[in-house]
Structure 1
Amino acid sequence: MKKIFASLMSALVAVSFAAVVFAADAPAPAPAAPAAAAPAEKAPEKTRKEKKAEKKAAKAQKKADKKQKKADEAQKKADDAAAKAAAPAK
């Protein structure tokens, strides 16, 4: 039984080795058609400092937007209060 198992294993190893050798020997198939949506040139990668600066600028813009929104809400509240005070009482 051991002999049969050993010969089966050696045959399996030989077949897989042959498959690897022939796969490496085979030419790669040519692409069917060039990709239409592929970009012509990739943009260069940003450095760590550039990424950090962009992140910092985005954070500052978000903070400024939040501050402006808060100021707009306060102004609207003040305008509503003034309009309510100016309106004649019934």
Structure 2
Amino acid sequence: MYIVLGSLVLTWATKILKMVARVGNQLQTDRQTDRQTDRQTDRQTDRQTDRQTDRQTDRQTDRQTDRQTDRQTDRQTDRQTDRQTDRQTDRQTDRQTDRQTDKCDRLMDSQTHGHTEGTP
């Protein structure tokens, strides 16, 4: 009877050990699968985050560059317009001054040459 009981205990112990081994193997497989899934998810998330960050950075850089270019263009245009306006104003002023000077010269000439010597 002891031999039969010992044999049964041994059989049950073997079955239990096999079940524990299967469960252990399954747990190890599950952990490996979980790690693989986690790594894959992390890589996907990292790529998504990188793309999003790159797009944001690109948009920010583009806006900044556009603003700088606009300011530079505006300053350049303003300087050109100012120089052009100054030259035009100077030419108009010079022509006006020349006309006025010519008028005065003609008036002086007419007064000087229009009278005989000795008469006021």
TM-score of the superposition, structure 1-length normalised? 0.47
Bigger proportion of residues as helix: 2
TM-score of the superposition, structure 2-length normalised? 0.36
